[in-house]
Amino acid sequence: METKKVLTIQDISCYGQCSTTVALPILSHYGIETAILPSAILSTHTSGFENFTFLDLTDEMQKIIDHWFTNHIEFDCIYTGYIGNRKQFDIILNNKHKILKDGGLFIVDPAMADNGKLYPGLDDFIVLGMRKMCMYADYIIPNVTEASFMTGVEYKDPKDQTTEYYNNLLQELYKLGAKNIILTGVVDGEDTIGAIGFDGITRTTVLTEKMPKSYHGTGDIFSSIIVADILNGKSMKETLHHATDFIIDSIDQTMDDEKHEYGVKFEQILKSESE
Ligand code: PXL
C-alpha cells in the first residue's frame, strides 16, 4: 500500500506536548509519513508559561520550500496549525501548489484562540491570515472561538451556545470557501462536548462526556487524528468518534497527575491502541 506523505506546518514548542511534538508521533502511529516546516521554535507553548522564548523562522520557510521544489518533493497533504508571524500566510498560500500533489489535501487548523480569547501575542492580522487560508482549504478544524473570530459572529459563552448558533457558524465558515468544516468544542448542556462535521450539505455531530479538566494541546491532538483518519479513508463519523474518544481517554490518563498541568498523556492511548 502506498504510504501517504503529510507536511505539517506549525511551530515547534520544545516542551509542553502540543503542535509538532504531538502531530508527528500521532501521524506516524497511523502509518503516515511526515515532514515538517516549522513556523517558529518556542521553549514552551504560550499559554500557561511565562517568559517563553520565540525564534521566528519566517525567513527560512521560503528557502526550505524552494529546496524541496528543485528536488521535486511533493506531499499528499499539507496540514497547518499555529502560525506565529502574519507573513507566513502568503508564503504558504503562494507556494502550496509547488509542493502539494494534484488532488492533495490542504487541511487548516486555525490554532490561534480558545475560550473566547486569542492566544497571548496574537493579533487581528493572524485572524485575517487564518481566514484567508481557510478560503482555500479542503478541511478546516476551528474550535468555536476561532470560528467566531474568523466569521465575525459574536462569541457566546458555552452556556448560551445553541444548535442554531453552531449552524450559523458552520454556514458562515462554509461561505468563506472551505469545502469541509469540523467545528470542535461544541457543547450540549454542561456535561457533553464534541464536534460537528459539515460538508455544505450534511452535518455529522458527535458528542461525548465532558471531562472536569481541560489541557493545552488537545486541539492539536484532535486535528492530528483527524488528518490521519481522513488520509486513511475513514468516514467523517468514524473520524469524529475516534478523535473525541481519544481526547477523553488522554485526559482521563492525565488527571491524576497534578504535576502534569500542560499537555495530556496521549502516548499511553497510542500504546493501548496497538496492544
Ligand atoms: O496548542 C496550540 C498551540 C500551539 N503552539 C503554540 C501555542 C499553542 C496554544 O497556546 O502557544 C506556540
Q: Whose CA is nearest to atom 1 of ligand 1?
A: 217
Three-state SS annotation for 42-98: EEECCCCCCCCCEEECHHHHHHHHHHHHHCCCCEEEEEECCCCCCHHHHHHHHHHHH
Please state which of the ranges 31-35, 45-49, 87-91, 262-266 shows the lowest mean pLDDT.
45-49
What is the per-residue pLDDT across 209-251, written as a single tens digit (0 to 9) for each? Answer: 999 999 999 999 999 999 999 999 999 999 999 999 999 999 9
At residue 1, does pLDDT exceed 80?
A: no
Q: What number does the ligand 1 atom closest to the CA of 18 have?
A: 1
CATH at residue 247: 3.40.1190.20
At residue 165, does pLDDT exceed 90?
A: yes
> What are residue 247's DSSP bridge partners?
none
C-alpha cell, 246? 481519544
C-alpha cell, 79? 496540514
Q: Where are the alpha helices (DSSP H) in the chain?
A: 20-29, 58-70, 87-99, 124-135, 144-151, 163-176, 218-231, 236-254, 266-274
pLDDT band at 275 (very low <50, low <70, confident <90, very high): confident
Is the shortest distance between the CB of 18 and ligand 1 below 6 Å?
Answer: yes
At residue 274, does pLDDT exceed 90?
A: no
Q: Indicate the Cα dihedral angle 106, 207, 116, 89, nearest 10°.
A: 0
Helix axes 124-135, 144-151, angle to 10 degrees: 90
- Ligand 1 centre distance from Cα of residue 220 (Å): 8
Mean pLDDT of the chain: 97
pTM for this model (two decimals): 0.97
Of the candidates 180, 173, 105, the residue with the CA atom closest to the CA atom of residue 145? 173
Domain count, the chain: 1
Is the shortest distance between the CB of 224 and ligand 1 below 6 Å?
Answer: no
Write down the pLDDT at residue 47.
87
Write down the pLDDT at residue 63.
98
Write down the pLDDT at residue 174.
98
Count Cα neighbours of 5 within 13 Å in the Cβ-side half-sphere: 10
Percentage of residues in the chain having pLDDT higher than 90: 96
| Owning domain of residue 64 | 5-274
Instruction: Give me the mean pLDDT over the 44-52 stretch.
Output: 92
| 261 vs 200, more confident | 200
Mutation choice for ligand 1 from 9, 13, 126, 224, CB with most ligand atoms inside 8 A: 13
Instruction: Give me the mean pLDDT over the 245-262 stretch.
Output: 95
Q: What number does the ligand 1 atom closest to the CA of 84 have?
A: 12
What is the per-residue pLDDT across 95-104, written as a single tens digit (0 to 9) for each? Answer: 999 999 999 9
Is the shortest distance between the CB of 112 and ligand 1 below 6 Å?
Answer: no
At residue 176, does pLDDT exceed 90?
A: yes
